[in-house]
Structure formats: structure tokens, C-alpha cells
Amino acid sequence: MSQEDDAFAEPRREMIEAIKASVRDSASYTGRDRLSDRVIEAMATVPRHAFVPPEQRHVAYRNTPLPIDAGQTISQPLIVALMTDLLEPQPDDIILEVGTGSGYQAAVLSELVKQVYSIEIIESLAGQARKVLAERGYANVTVRAGDGYAGWPEHAPFDGIVVTAAPEEIPPPLLQQLKPGGKLVIPVGEEHGYQELLVLEIDGDGAVSHRSVLPVRFVPLTGDR
């Protein structure tokens, strides 16, 4: 850890306390008043300041979304932590992320699972995320530029899929690329309208159950369809 990284240790600790408090406050929606220790540990480890633009570094550990390049955002830490927790990631899991953005969510997952595949539709963001993830030693994350609506069939099936941009409907290819018992954590809804965070789970017989976790506000899942 560099001296610059050291300077962020205290703000990161405060971010963790803010996440824990927000999780308790939203327990009536989410049904959980605490996150798993593994997820908290990952959030306490990943250097969020490395994933935000230099001019945002001084506020990197605020529990808020922040602007990144290309008019996109790095999600609120609470939401990253909650979506990660909802996936219930296991050490041997292979996870797909749709919407790499800054690479931060992928780094958090990288701490918790065997392999992360992440797709970003904006090529410049995919390139930047790939670079920072490599610089920071996240060797088990593979990023590619493309439309994540179609998933990543070459690496399917996945133990879990997390989508960090909101489609209006659930993309069928993503459900098809889940292993039995796998979870899809996804915001769904209109661009400027109501969106909710959903968890879909597929059982051994292919039956899909879903539950709504809480109202959210995400950038739209874009692409030509």
C-alpha cells in the first residue's frame, strides 16, 4: 500500500460505518439488517479512490454515486455492497458483471470469487477499467467491450450475474446463462421512471423465482435492439 493509499484508510473505514448504518436503515425494504462479513471485508479492502477520476478522489469514500468518464457513474457504495451481498458470492464462483464502468464493482467481486467476467458497452471505459484492475493486481477479472444484454455465452453458465445498468425488461440471455441455483441481481425499470432492484433465482428444474429488494436509480442499459 502506498502513502497515498494510507491516507484513504480512515475515510474508507468511515464509508464502511456509513454502509452498515444505511443497511440497518433500509432493512424494512431489503429484509437484511447486516451484510455478510466477507462482503464488508471486501468493501474495506478495495481502494475506491483508484477507480474514480482524479478530481473526485477527495470524495471517493462518500456513500454516494460519483461521476466517471463518458457521462457514466460509479455506483453508491451501499448499492455495490448490497448487490454483492445479494449474489451470496462463494469462493469458487464464476460471476458475470454487465456494466463494468470504473471497474470498482468487479474489484469487490474479485476479492470474493474465483473469476469475474465483466462487459462494458463504452470502449474507453472498458479500457480504463482493464488498466486500473491490472495495476491493482485484480488478476481474476476479465473485461471486454461489448453489449452485455447478450451476456457472455463463451464463459457461461455463471454462478451469479450482476447488472449495474437498468433495462426495461429482464434480458432473456442473462437468465439462460445462469447455473441452477444461480442468482441474477438486476435493476429493472424506465430510464427516468420507477426502477426496482430484483433478485431472480433459478432452481434445478429451471423454475425462476424473483423478489423485489428496493427502489433504485440506475443509468439505462443501452445498446441496439
Q: Interacting stretch for ligand SAM, rule CB under 6 A, among 9-17, 68-76, 134-142, 191-199?
A: 68-76
Tell me the three cell numbers of residue 153: 455465452
Task: Evaluate the CA torsion angle 130, 131, 134, 138 in order and state its sign.
Answer: negative
Closest CB to ligand SAM among 11 and 223?
A: 223
Q: Does the protein bind ligand SAM through residue 78 (CB under 6 A)?
A: no
Report how far residue 83's alpha carbon sits from residue 70's, in angstroms, rounded to the nearest whole number: 23
| Among 43, 86, 122, 141, contact with ligand SAM (rule: CB under 6 A) | 122
Residue carrying the nine cell digits 478522489: 57
Q: Cβ of residue 56: shortest distance to ligand SAM, in angstroms? A: 12
Secondary structure percentages of the chain, helix, strand, coil, to 5: 40, 25, 35
**C-beta neighbour count of 71 within 10 angstroms:** 8
Minimum CB separation of residue 223 from ligand SAM in Å reads: 4
104 lies in the binding site for ligand SAM (CB under 6 A): yes
Question: Closest distance between ligand SAM and the C-beta of residue 67, in Å?
Answer: 10
Q: Whole-angstrom distance between the N-terminal and C-terminal Cα of the chain? A: 44
Can you tell me which of 42, 88, 96, 102 binds ligand SAM, judged by CB under 6 A? 102
Take residue 149 and report the three cell numbers written for it.
444484454
Find the catalytic residue in 36, 75, 118, 124.
75
Beta bridge partners of 176: none
Q: Which of residues 157-176 bind ligand SAM (CB under 6 A)?
A: 164-165
Number of residues interacting with ligand SAM: please give it, by CB under 6 A. Answer: 25
Could you tell me the sign of the dihedral formed by the alpha carbons of 196, 150, 39, 61, in that order?
negative
**Active site residue ranges:** 75
- Which residues contact ligand SAM by CB under 6 A? 72-75, 98-99, 101-102, 104-105, 119-122, 125, 147-149, 164-165, 218-219, 221-223
